[in-house]
């Protein structure tokens, strides 16, 4: 029996959340510093305050998403076990849960992207704008990756039939392809997130130096 491993869902999202928390804290530090000395990574105080509010709100959206994906994490092994046992009922039920969990998180993810985009449009420091641009790209790629994962689960839910060899293999092949796509796209998302974190680190070094 072919074993299909589903990719882990939480690490990249958690890094994005943590970094946004850091940047929210940075806004307070920059606001206190005023316009003298160092680098105001978030720009003028009035725009900084509004941008920080948007980032904090985006962080709340991403926290909701993490909760949903944490719930989904346990279903990886459950789905794997159901397919190994040719338990069609269980496999389709678990796949259905996966589809709805990811769909539920899509609204919050879109909200987070919109807020990050609005923050970029404000009068903020170029370093912070570049950081947000890279984080936006990272989040969009993650959303694209999770859509691949959702479609993989959707195909399994609607078409998996262990008694029909031809259909079974076709579904498994599509499932594997989409799961591989998920991993490939997620790696790109992690790269953008890493680049964004480097921008933030460099800006902090300038500020402290």
- pLDDT tens by residue, 57-109: 998 888 887 787 677 667 777 877 887 788 889 989 999 998 988 888 888 89
**Binning pLDDT at 50, 70 and 90, where does residue 36 land?**
very low
Tokens coding 76: 């990886």
Q: Is residue 80 in some structural domain?
A: yes
4 within some domain: no
CATH of residue 199's domain is 1.20.120
Count of the separate structural domains present in the chain:
1
What DSSP string describes 4-54? -PPPP-SHHHHHHHHHHHHHHHHHHHHHHHTTSSS--TT-SHHHHHHHHHH
pTM of the model: 0.72
Domain presence at residue 35: no
> From the centroid of its chain, how far is CA 33?
32
Return the pLDDT at 95: 92
Mean pLDDT, all residues of the chain: 77
In a domain, 170, yes or no: yes
Whole-angstrom CA distances from 90 to 78, 137, 163, 164 are 9, 36, 15, 17
Residue 66 lies in a domain: yes
Average pLDDT over residues 110-116: 94
Domain range for 62 is 11-26+40-208
Residue 6 falls within a domain, yes or no? Answer: no
pLDDT value for 93: 92
What span, in angstroms and rounded, lies between the C-alpha atoms of 191 and 58? 20
Nearest CA-CA partner of 95 in 153, 145, 150: 153
Tokens of 110: 């879109």
Domain annotation covers residue 57: yes
């Amino acid at each position: 029996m072919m074993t299909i491993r589903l990719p882990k869902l939480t690490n990249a999202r958690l890094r994005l959340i943590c970094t946004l928390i850091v940047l929210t804290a940075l806004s307070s530090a920059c606001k206190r510093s005023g316009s003298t000395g160092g680098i105001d990574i978030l720009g003028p105080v009035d725009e900084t305050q509004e941008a920080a509010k948007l980032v904090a709100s985006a962080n709340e959206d991403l926290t909701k998403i993490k909760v949903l994906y944490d719930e989904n994490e346990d279903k990886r092994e459950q789905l794997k076990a159901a397919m190994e046992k040719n338990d069609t009922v269980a496999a389709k039920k678990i796949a259905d849960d996966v589809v709805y969990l990811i769909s539920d998180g899509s609204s919050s993810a879109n909200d987070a992207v919109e807020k990050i985009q609005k923050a970029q449009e404000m009068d903020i420091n170029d370093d912070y704008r570049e950081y947000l641009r890279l984080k936006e790209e990272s989040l969009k790629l993650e959303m694209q990756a999770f859509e691949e994962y959702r479609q993989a689960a959707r195909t399994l839910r609607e078409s998996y039939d262990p008694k029909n060899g031809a259909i079974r293999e076709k579904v498994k092949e599509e499932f594997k392809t989409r799961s591989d796509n998920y991993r490939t796209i997620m790696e790109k998302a992690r790269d953008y997130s890493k680049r964004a974190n480097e921008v933030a680190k460099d800006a902090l070094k300038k500020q402290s130096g």
